[in-house]
Structure 1
């Protein structure tokens, strides 16, 4: 029997983010930026129900990632994993089973290895994650303003990756955001531009990469065409490239 891991997205963008990772023993929801009703509708589109979930894993406390976490956990009695800083930054009310990730220490959930990675983002104690199951490595990397040596070291040798290409610098600079928000998004603790994402990929060993998903594309400060143009020169080795969207996310992708 061929061992595989698969992943999908309920939605990706500033109006809500959530990713599913499914392996032999369970299904993990990473973030939940949607209401319980909308989460259930989006899960149904992917052939899943909230009752199928093993746990919820949270990257950070911004509303587009955490809005539905506590209500969903309470409704379906789900364990929630997050850093202490993320937990302390919000009043989430009573959680049925809170499991704090201390010091970015790796841990295991039903045979799925999970490595939290510290990233530069304007949140209390944000984390992105690398998942490993039966030798298959999936990395999720969104919501960071710059690529540190620490990040670059951890995301080598992946079989699949979800990577942020949030904005085009010219569109951001000339767009409708107020100056303070432009500075935040484009700063070292904000979000990756198309060019930053491309530079990161150029420095990665991509020979194993079966799937690259380009995610968290801004609807105000980016376009699919600009993201594709920036990334095309550095993705020739990647077997399959998917561009996630706000409304549909992306469908199941399997990694073997």
Structure 2
């Protein structure tokens, strides 16, 4: 059985837990160690169970607590060479550099890195599998590439960014330079871009879509949900919101 939960998602911190058999993986850690452990306790997850940490990129809302948590729990950290350089990894952290074109195993979980266009040194996202069960995590990219569409085509569950509404971003409080970054090809997916991706995925296999990394300033929860729901008519019940403060509780992927 593969299951997954979120410690929280948004500009103030991101972290996702995945467990399968005897393996437990944390994707990103954008919270302090203290906050991470508190949020793990809320999910009734014992931190000593953690097998490894995967890092998507070096931005603080994804990597703030990675090194300290790795040292605290004595678990290895997996990331791209570019991310390792950007984070200036030091010797007392067990860093494992990964090839974004090569899948690898972490205990019972198979990890498929997916290179994505984002304004980071060598950003990636991940598809994780346990037997035939597949979970896709896809946030922090400015546009959807053919490679991304192909990589996420056969997932059973998808944690998907719907960061902003373009009109809200345009009239919102961000300075012009930040608006260009967020809405640009190396920024974050809009509601419409995420909906377009969903329209290209096999909905019969897809059991759950968790709308994530929603901007507090440039989006609205109900708006994001309605835009994505329109892209999957008849499958709206599969949608769920991932919140910054509470994340979401454990979800189980049902066997095919």
Shorter-chain TM-score: which interval? over 0.9
Distance 2:217 2:238 in 1: 26
RMSD of aligned Cα (Å): 1.1
- Residue 174 of structure 1 corresponds to which residue in structure 2? 171
- Residue 151 of structure 2 corresponds to which residue in structure 1? 154
- Where 1:104 maps in the other structure, the secondary structure is coil
- Whether 1:43 and 2:43 are equivalent positions in the alignment is no
Residues 38-66 of structure 1, C-alpha deviations (whole Å, 9 max, x = no match): 00000000001321111100000000000
Distance 1:231 1:147 in 2: 15
The Cα of 1:237 is off from its aligned counterpart by 2.8
- Whether 1:99 and 2:96 are equivalent positions in the alignment is yes
- Residue 31 of structure 2 corresponds to which residue in structure 1? 34
Residues paired across the two proteins, number: 253
- Residue 129 of structure 1 corresponds to which residue in structure 2? 126
| Counterpart contact for 1:10–1:43, Cα < 8 Å | yes
- Residue 245 of structure 2 corresponds to which residue in structure 1? 247
Distance 2:123 2:135 in 1: 18
Residues 153-181 of structure 1, C-alpha deviations (whole Å, 9 max, x = no match): 11101111100000000010000000000
The Cα of 1:213 is off from its aligned counterpart by 0.4
The Cα of 1:240 is off from its aligned counterpart by 2.4
- Residue 82 of structure 2 corresponds to which residue in structure 1? 85
| Counterpart contact for 1:206–1:238, Cα < 8 Å | no
The Cα of 1:206 is off from its aligned counterpart by 1.5
- Residue 198 of structure 1 corresponds to which residue in structure 2? 195
- Residue 61 of structure 1 corresponds to which residue in structure 2? 58
Unaligned runs of 5+ in 2: none
Unaligned runs of 5+ in 1: none
Distance 2:133 2:179 in 1: 37
The Cα of 1:75 is off from its aligned counterpart by 1.1
Residues 121-143 of structure 1, C-alpha deviations (whole Å, 9 max, x = no match): 00010110001111001100000
| Counterpart contact for 1:207–1:238, Cα < 8 Å | no
Residue correspondence of structure 1 range 201-216 to structure 2 within 5 A: 201-216=198-213
Runs of 4 or more, structure 1, over 2 Å off, are 91-96, 235-240
| Counterpart contact for 1:70–1:95, Cα < 8 Å | no
Query: Given the two structures, how large is their TM-score scaled by the length of structure 1?
Result: 0.96
Query: Given the two structures, how large is their TM-score scaled by the length of structure 2?
Result: 0.96
The Cα of 1:239 is off from its aligned counterpart by 5.0
